[in-house]
Amino acid sequence: MLPGGPGIGSESLFGLADALDVPGTCWMVDLPGDGSNVSPPGASENPYDVWPRVLIEAAQALPNCVYLGHSTGGMYLLSVPELESLLVGLVLVSTAPDANWRAPFFEMTQRHPLPEVDAATRRYEAERTDERLRDIAVASAEWNFTPESVAAGRELLRRMPYNRAAVDWSDRNFDETYVHTWWPRSLPTLIISGAEDRIVQQTPWSQPAFQGPHILHQRVEGAAHFPWMERPDAVASAMRALVARMTPRP
């Protein structure tokens, strides 16, 4: 399971893992230099030199690997075409096929301004620390969650480890130019979209290019950018449907 962000720890996906009832083991992936993985053994002096291709290493380490990417994590997965031959399943949660989600997001923030986000951003620009980065994330809870789960979502974001260096790398090298470099030809794939997601627009997944007999689409009504927070049962059900389509390697 690869978290979004970047800069937020894979601990953000613990609740998702807890909601699932599928065979196997859930492994949380923090890329080197992201989340709390700040001093990974064997990493180069600049851990971001291997982003996002280091995802290959993690896939090769496990048999019958299913990768799940949330938000930017899913975008990283779709930037590494070598993964297709290494996986038995792919799960894309609240993510996008290219960077065109950014303009609708910024427009949304103008229509629904959060003064606390603006204030936290100014503090972060004056003092760029991981703690100040956390303040921005916590202040943005109303954008990320439905009203019924804002309080729980705010507490989730408050508990997470943050890493500003990861944010800076992605901002300079990935976020604005991202376009998926591969799409599963036959790999069982699940796309989970919160119907109320205001962060990453989910409409591109309706395009013909992203359809097929091996592709499952699950639109989760009443859920936002972290859909397992509002509708864990619906997310778990979609995952079970994907597992039924997967074939373990001998």
Q: Any bridge partners for residue 89, and if so which?
A: 66
Which domains are present in the chain?
10-243 (3.40.50.1820)
Report the Cα 8 to chain-centroid distance in Å. 10
Q: Pairing mode, if any, of strands 189-194 and 87-93?
A: parallel
Helices (H) and strands (E) in the chain, counts: 11, 4
Q: 38: pLDDT confidence band, cut at 50, 70 and 90?
A: confident
List CB contacts of 242: < 8 A, sequence separation 6 or more: 66, 89, 91, 188, 189, 190, 216
Predicted pLDDT at 46: 86
Q: 237: pLDDT confidence band, cut at 50, 70 and 90?
A: very high
Q: 45: pLDDT confidence band, cut at 50, 70 and 90?
A: confident
User: Does residue 122 or residue 250 have the better pLDDT?
Assistant: 122
Q: What is the pLDDT of residues 218-230, one digit of tens each?
A: 999 999 999 999 9
Q: What is the mean pLDDT of residues 132-145?
A: 98
Given a cut of 90, whether residue 3 has pLDDT beyond it is yes
Q: Which residue has the tokens 């859909």?
A: 227
Q: What is the pLDDT of residues 182-199, one digit of tens each?
A: 999 999 999 999 999 999
Predicted pLDDT at 42: 74
Q: What is the mean pLDDT of residues 68-86?
A: 98
Residue 7: strand, helix, or coil: coil
Average pLDDT, the chain: 96
Q: Rounded distance, CA 34 to CA 11, Å?
A: 12
Burial class (CB in 10 A: 0-12, 13-18, 19+), 221: exposed
Residue 111 and residue 103 in contact, taking contact as beta carbons nearer than 8 Å: no
Nearest to 216 by CA among 123, 95, 92: 92
Nearest to 16 by CA among 5, 27, 30, 8: 27
Given a cut of 80, whether residue 153 has pLDDT beyond it is yes
- 18: alpha, beta or left? (left if phi > 0; alpha if psi -120 to 50): alpha
Q: What is the mean pLDDT of residues 119-135?
A: 97
For the chain, the C-alpha Rg in angstroms (whole number) is 17
Predicted pLDDT at 59: 95
Nearest to 142 by CA among 222, 73, 224: 224
Q: Alpha-carbon torsion 140, 145, 150, 155, what sign?
A: negative
pLDDT above 90 coverage of the chain, percent: 90
Is-above-0.85 flag for pTM? yes
Q: Which two tokens stand for residue 181?
A: 């470099």
Given a cut of 80, whether residue 149 has pLDDT beyond it is yes
Given a cut of 80, whether residue 40 has pLDDT beyond it is no
Given a cut of 80, whether residue 23 has pLDDT beyond it is yes
Predicted pLDDT at 250: 78
Largest CA distance in the chain: 55
